[in-house]
Amino acid sequence: MPSQPNRLLIPSFPSSTPRPLPLGGRATPKALRPREWAGLSNDEILSRFVPGEASPHTVLEVLLKLHNMEHTARAKSVSFKTRYERANFLRHFFRELESRGGFKKAPDPRNLGQRHIQAAVDLWRKDGLKPSTIQTYLSFLRGLASWLSKPGFIRRPAYYGLELAEYQRSGINEREKSWSAQGVDVDGLIDKVAAFDPYVGGMLRLIRAFGLRKREAIMFRPNECVVNFADTGLPLAEKQGEEYVWIRQGAKGGRPRFVPMNTPRRRQAVASAQRIAFWDSHAHTGDPDRDLKQNMVRFGYVLRKFGITSKGLGITAHGLRHEALIEEYIAITGQEPPLRGGGEGLTREQEDAARLAVSRLAGHNRGRASAAYLGALMHKKKGGTRGGADGGAAGGDAAA
């Protein structure tokens, strides 16, 4: 019996039956405000900080306090990771305008002009930033513009002189990242890890079976996440088994999903996790004597010890996720994915259905996200180009 309680600080539920989510997903966020802002509108709060008198950096902090937890386009909150990265970028953005952008003083965010954006883009090009990074930075700036009621202020990348290759990310995998592609005995290596650290070994088995992300595997609650099909709320036409796993803790963007326990590998992975977390009905698969951050650090340490790194065996935990998703495609189609030279004999409808299933297993809603794991679409969409299952390339989070 562990010496300390489960400390991942995940809310407990009285039963394994999933709670229905509100139709709009997570609730519309409401930032916590200082007492002196009580009863004031956003505009009234900002009016207290007069342009030219208040420090631009102070005004930025006010805007972050008011809006940083908001999604740019939807009425929901964003993850703590996004809040942290967006706030850090915006602070750095205004400092850079003053230190490297050629301006004597950083502008008040409310007076931001196209010349400031252009100066920043010029710095990004000079620094050789990746297309994915530039896309993210422009997205953060669009968010800032929306907070200031300036939709459309941030123009298309070409307006700032960016070439297509400098800002467009394809999201299409051109090099297979699965463990088996690197000549690794997948199950043998996982067994060795499990013998050294059963917690990390159990996490790898879950990633191998369900295509989980690292955080999802660490926060997985094997004793309360197994539900009957009737409790999933899925259409009867989509039934693939009697029991499903409800993946919700650690899910990216707060998007839960149900995965059928319809293979021996999946049932064995859950059984293994249940043996690890035998001591409590709400226990997670991480070491109960460590919190979430410590379990993630331990996970990385154990993988490095066994050479599971890009510089070691040429594999990563994310590559094991690729392994699971490629196997799902093969199970559905009976063929190797395009990344391995397969998929030629499928109709467009068959390929689209398989890619959508793979994307959903990975926790994405769009079929085109599968390009990050399977390679480019074999069939061209009329009027489009080869890419993901709904035409075009995978989005920025496709490989996550």
pLDDT digits (tens, 9 = 90+) for 267-302: 999 999 999 988 788 889 999 999 999 999 999 999
Instruction: Look at residues 138, 167, 196 and tell me which one is the last residue of a structural domain.
Output: 167
* Domain at 250, CATH number: 3.90.15
Task: Report yes or no on 13 lying in a domain.
Answer: no
Instruction: Look at residues 112, 143, 167 and tell me which one is the last residue of a structural domain.
Output: 167
Specify whether 144 is located in the same domain as 180: no
Question: 10 Å Cβ neighbour count for 367?
Answer: 23
Specify whether 163 is located in the same domain as 178: no
Specify whether 180 is located in the same domain as 161: no
SS3 assignment, position 210: helix
The predicted pLDDT at position 398 comes to: 47
Specify whether 131 is located in the same domain as 238: no
The predicted pLDDT at position 394 comes to: 36
Task: Report yes or no on 281 lying in a domain.
Answer: yes
Task: Tally the domains of the chain.
Answer: 2
Specify whether 198 is located in the same domain as 305: yes
| 315, two tokens | 């594999």
Task: Report yes or no on 28 lying in a domain.
Answer: no
- How far does the chain reach from its first CA to its final CA, in angstroms? 35
Task: Report yes or no on 20 lying in a domain.
Answer: no
Query: In which residue ranges of the chain is pLDDT below 50?
Result: 1-28, 170, 382-399
The predicted pLDDT at position 81 comes to: 86
Specify whether 135 is located in the same domain as 197: no
Task: Report yes or no on 101 lying in a domain.
Answer: yes
SS3 assignment, position 243: strand
Specify whether 139 is located in the same domain as 252: no
The predicted pLDDT at position 7 comes to: 36
Q: Which domain holds residue 40?
A: 35-167
Q: How far apart are CA 304 and CA 5, in angstroms?
A: 28
The predicted pLDDT at position 165 comes to: 67
Specify whether 159 is located in the same domain as 179: no
Specify whether 376 is located in the same domain as 235: yes
In sequence order, what DSSP letters do the residues of 64-81 get, joined into one string?
Answer: HHHHTTB-SSSSSB--HH
Place of tokens 């009234």: 44
Q: How many residues does the chain have?
A: 400
Nearest to 232 by CA among 23, 25, 20: 20
Specify whether 210 is located in the same domain as 339: yes
Specify whether 88 is located in the same domain as 183: no
pLDDT digits (tens, 9 = 90+) for 365-386: 888 888 888 887 766 554 444 4
Instruction: Look at residues 118, 151, 167 and tell me which one is the last residue of a structural domain.
Output: 167
Torsion of CA 87, 89, 94, 95, to 10 degrees: 110
Task: Report yes or no on 25 lying in a domain.
Answer: no
Report strand pairing: 226-228 vs 257-260: unpaired
Specify whether 209 is located in the same domain as 122: no
Question: 10 Å Cβ neighbour count for 216?
Answer: 23
The predicted pLDDT at position 370 comes to: 85
- Those residues whose C-beta lies under 8 Å from the C-beta of residue 63, and which sit 6 or more positions away, are 46, 109, 144, 147, 148
